[in-house]
Structure 1
């Protein structure tokens, strides 16, 4: 399947780069066999990448083809060195907004250049020139090449919506255009493939140019190909089936370097991990690196034995294929992820820079803008002033530097002379200018009869400056957060952490609770000590990554929680009896009078993975296997009924289907169903996506999970819930 996708794309990228056509096939072969064997991502497929087209075309035009091969070899050696130094994860420090903006810019450049070939003309020297010349091409070119290009795009769009879409659309589109041109006797430019893959081979030679220009070209190929490959590896890891190991990014970078060295030596294009081919590989059912290696072997066999067939392919068909690929590179779904973090400006600026200035310049502009925005965020400070119980409260949060002094002094000026003040400093850094501003104001305020109590929540920056001690080092964002795992927090009692036993870690957590939290919750716990009055029963999985109070921002006494493997609810009269879950439900509804029962599932659920595997992974655990029989109805629903839209993997879909089924299982109990129908009880389905930390709520009418909105809108805008009387009090579409 991957081989069928790779063949037309490899030919098209070679043509778009201005390289010999066989260079694309050589790169596909090397990317499959060499990188497939040596790389660290078993399911990632490497080969010629559209994201490198602009760089390669520029190098060929500037230095020539053999020099470009030498630059590719040097870039491979640089990647091997970087991988050996274990710096692969450093490349991931590049903002995704820059990477996606770069790919979108390359997509625009690719579309503008290849549209000229589709229209039967020739591309210009730059993207802007291609854009300005496009109207003339559209008005003056009406050749058969245009017909074949339009036909290719039409077949691509239609085939992807057909019931036979398991056969790759690029292959069908190019094959259709080739067959029409062949049988119609069209006189159009076609692929010119030599008799041998290495017929144009010659020893790579470095160009006679300034050393800084050569180094810049090598670094550009190495970094762009490396970053694209590493980001692709991360994306493939998110899609990998159960049992497939995660990618070793350093090994993957070494494998990519070896592939580029061999590809450059044999006269091929630079290689990189490619999302389209890698996604096809995963969705086609690949489980090992054997799939990647065999796809390269198939390309080699076809290139050696079917050259006459490949030479029948019209160039306009390949150009149309790349136009469609360029459109996919402008993936607007990335903007939805960047918008909440206010990084869309970086995306658009990078894309515009790549189109107008060039790839290297555009990426540098994007990286510079991302760095400036990050610096601005790091130095942002929040100052809140309010009056409660006769006292003034000033809360300062963020990094308190000289840039925040004007905002701070303006807030402190609002406090009337002589008033008692609580100054809460929740800051992770304070420079001397900020300390001086606070201390000067404090001395002045206390001279006028006021009292200032300074409470430093985490770091003692003010106290350290007062006593003359050196300021403590800046902690990581999660170092003192109560919601962070033990391993992400500093505990002076257990240094070094690796030498502590699990019991010592647990006791250290209790000591931390006693020292920082117990005094804060003591009034609440004392009030709750006589009775509990929760309104919600929360049924969820025992998975350690699911923390109900965290994802609902609830506290003591809010949730009555029951947990089990797979958040299962045995059906009424189940053949495998188990009363523990319904005992909690019965007590919660009949004694505590809860008004809502929520079933919360989550992504990457091990229980659902075991169910999906048919019990083979849990057969050595008899008690667990017996319990998971309660999920048989979820599995049957998964197999025979349409599931919720959205999840890309079968496991994610089963996890969501399982929540819907457990809500239905609750309604098999007559007494509980009667409460729901009377409006006394509401059933809610929730789903936690661990990778994004986002909570989704079930909409029964649409049979899918919707992201909980950040703000409460009108009632009509909120997702429907199972207990709404307008829904007929049904918990699921079944």
Structure 2
């Protein structure tokens, strides 16, 4: 009884959700789908009714059988050029048969579960193909907008365009310009956004042309269902037919799968089943081809509209197909009122929008812009299939280049030894670059050769091996240090190498606070959002176990990486800096200076204070560190680093209120009295880029004062006067994660490219 009641409640909840969210969304998608389907039918050279048939089948069948909850399928602009070519070559009925066979191939691929393999196609090729198709569509339909006829190719359309612009100023041009103007301006009218832009543009163009009596061409759907065509087996070379089936199946399938992946990023509902989606697309294309419709694919414009309209399930997609069917049965006569020039203008707008500038920025950041540009240009100049093949070839070459990328650097150290670093995948492709760099090493030089490789082939090994023998023959020495896997040593021993070895796994975001790592707030690898507070209660409760777990992580993943150079420095240290900073847990010296073991000789105390020379009672801890650093270690610089929100400085400002019950802290903070006096003078507070509060101004004043305190020590002053020691002031803004350096005119942020 309870189970039945819960099931009834769940069913009622689903019905309410469908009525509240999916029903309104389906109406919005329907209003977008009708004009787009008609426009794509026009540019494909197919009957107008074929676009509506594909929209109905894509909605009802694609929504029910597909693997995505919110994706909307229908005739896609990316397939328009392929369909137009097939219609010219084989005729419309044969094109329907090719669509049907392509659907069967998609079903077979989905059953074989190869959908994920389609995602291996470079997005740069897909986006470049779609952009090229958009350019071709826009150039062809622009001639219709201008009252002319499209030429045979995109290049001819481009060459003829100036002539068309100068000689055609008819009513057709006015309708086209009006349609594009509405499409551009409509999204900027927020109160009218409930009506989709494409529908509004066609309605306004039709009403304006009708009321003014303009001489235009109207869409022809007068024969309605009588124009439906059944599939007919294509005649001619079966090799060409098979290639056409493969092309339609792959292009429609890949576009649908990429659309599904994009749709998953737009909503929080169930994730897409890509194999089911591919099977569903196959079933949809078989039905669409059998009923005389265009090829179907997942369409990002309609899918985005569906999600933004509030769709929660596949019912929205299915109902939108039902609305299109209702329109075909009862209101198809309204299509005859639409000016063909308005449909052409809509296609021009769609074509231009297919060249997505946001995509360009993303591809440029990943170095894939040449693949995109070459694919787009090849589609426009040569053809769709040829352009895709060119793009795939360039993408493959680009991937091969990245996989075989090697970095080689060589330079002389102050002691005369040469340091050579080779990193990456060392193959025969990188041998010329390797040898060019190694030739810079003078004969007889002592060389430290650091190999940080994840692969080395025989050609690269032999080149490196023979160079080493030749260099040692001239009196030089070569010490090889392999940071990770021993590729060189294994090859020298004749040990068989595995195909590819991976580098040891690095520590799991070691720089994150422990509360944000494994077992804390961190889930799924997500970084903490701005404003998130760390889980301090858990951290305190499990302090010792967490510390030991971190030590185990170090032994497992970090120790193998640092052991080679820690072994060399195990008996002596040679730091170049004495780094005096606050004991605050949020300030990590090695993190903000990108330094490693052996770089910093560090002193940490409350408030990064340096007692002045001769202070009574003396503080031997800081003095001992200064003496050892300058006398024994001969450091070349001393840095005092303060930070924002320092608790010690807050205690100074509180006039002793915050040190109640802590006599040791009270005595220690007397070394900050001069800092407080400096702050109260106001005119000596260095570098105030805007008023950020009394506390942080005091923190910056404290850095300058501690440098002055350092200069009261005779040994420090003498070394600085002799030019053998440099004093540096740093200030770390914790909230902004920004380091500032003390210059003569105040604190300035350290630039990223410094």
Q: Output the TM-score relative to the length of structure 1.
A: 0.70
2:116 pairs with 1:89: yes
- Call closer, same or farther: CA 1:518–1:61 in 2, change over 3 Å: same
What is the match of residue 631 of structure 2?
A: none
2:200 pairs with 1:172: yes
Secondary structure, aligned partner of 1:417: coil
2:557 pairs with 1:512: yes
For residues 233 and 412 of structure 2, the distance between their equivalents in structure 1, rounded to whole angstroms, comes to 72
Of 281, 300, 303, 1:275 maps to 300
For residues 555 and 312 of structure 1, the distance between their equivalents in structure 2, rounded to whole angstroms, comes to 74
Instruction: Kindly report which structure 2 residues correspond to 1:547-696, keeping only aligned pairs within 5 A, or say none.
Output: 589-591=646-648, 673-676=693-696, 680=700
Of 189, 200, 217, 1:189 maps to 217
Instruction: Kindly report which structure 2 residues correspond to 1:6-21, keeping only aligned pairs within 5 A, or say none.
Output: 6-21=33-48
CA contact (8 A) 1:537 1:588 kept: no
- Call closer, same or farther: CA 1:518–1:174 in 2, change over 3 Å: same
- Call closer, same or farther: CA 1:368–1:515 in 2, change over 3 Å: closer
- Post-superposition offset of 1:208: 1.5
CA contact (8 A) 1:32 1:46 kept: yes
Of 258, 279, 293, 2:318 maps to 293
- Call closer, same or farther: CA 1:365–1:511 in 2, change over 3 Å: closer
- Call closer, same or farther: CA 1:465–1:13 in 2, change over 3 Å: same
For residues 710 and 69 of structure 1, the distance between their equivalents in structure 2, rounded to whole angstroms, comes to 62
What is the match of residue 190 of structure 2?
A: 163
CA offsets 1:383-441 (integer angstroms, 9 cap, x no match) = 11122344221111122222322322232233333333221112222222221121112
Which stretch shifts more, 512-521 or 148-157?
Answer: 512-521
CA contact (8 A) 1:676 1:682 kept: no
What is the match of residue 49 of structure 1?
A: 76
- Call closer, same or farther: CA 1:422–1:111 in 2, change over 3 Å: same
What is the match of residue 680 of structure 2?
A: none
CA offsets 1:267-306 (integer angstroms, 9 cap, x no match) = 1111111111111112122222222112111111111111
What is the match of residue 304 of structure 1?
A: 329
2:399 pairs with 1:374: yes
What is the match of residue 241 of structure 2?
A: 214
What is the match of residue 495 of structure 1?
A: none
2:558 pairs with 1:533: no
What is the match of residue 143 of structure 2?
A: 116
For residues 301 and 551 of structure 1, the distance between their equivalents in structure 2, rounded to whole angstroms, comes to 65
2:65 pairs with 1:38: yes
What is the match of residue 626 of structure 1?
A: none
- Across the two proteins, how many residue pairs are aligned to each other? 566
- Call closer, same or farther: CA 1:536–1:191 in 2, change over 3 Å: farther
For residues 595 and 453 of structure 2, the distance between their equivalents in structure 1, rounded to whole angstroms, comes to 25
- Call closer, same or farther: CA 1:346–1:534 in 2, change over 3 Å: farther
- Post-superposition offset of 1:484: 8.0
- Call closer, same or farther: CA 1:712–1:460 in 2, change over 3 Å: closer
For residues 293 and 56 of structure 1, the distance between their equivalents in structure 2, rounded to whole angstroms, comes to 25
Of 77, 81, 101, 2:104 maps to 77
Point out the structure with max Rg over C-alpha.
Answer: 2
- Post-superposition offset of 1:318: 0.9
- Post-superposition offset of 1:678: 6.0
For residues 179 and 87 of structure 2, the distance between their equivalents in structure 1, rounded to whole angstroms, comes to 28
**Unmatched tracts of structure 2, length 5 or more:** 1-27, 511-545, 605-641, 652-690, 701-730, 740-748
What is the match of residue 200 of structure 1?
A: 227
Instruction: Kindly report which structure 2 residues correspond to 1:54-453, keeping only aligned pairs within 5 A, or say none.
Output: 54-164=81-191, 165-197=193-225, 199-240=226-267, 243-388=268-413, 389-453=415-479
- Call closer, same or farther: CA 1:191–1:58 in 2, change over 3 Å: same
CA contact (8 A) 2:134 2:352 kept: yes
Secondary structure, aligned partner of 2:337: coil
- Post-superposition offset of 1:105: 0.7
CA contact (8 A) 1:533 1:592 kept: no
Of 500, 520, 525, 1:474 maps to 500
For residues 290 and 311 of structure 1, the distance between their equivalents in structure 2, rounded to whole angstroms, comes to 30
For residues 710 and 366 of structure 1, the distance between their equivalents in structure 2, rounded to whole angstroms, comes to 39
- Call closer, same or farther: CA 1:279–1:420 in 2, change over 3 Å: same
For residues 521 and 536 of structure 1, the distance between their equivalents in structure 2, rounded to whole angstroms, comes to 27
Which stretch shifts more, 247-256 or 368-377?
Answer: 368-377
- Post-superposition offset of 1:449: 3.9
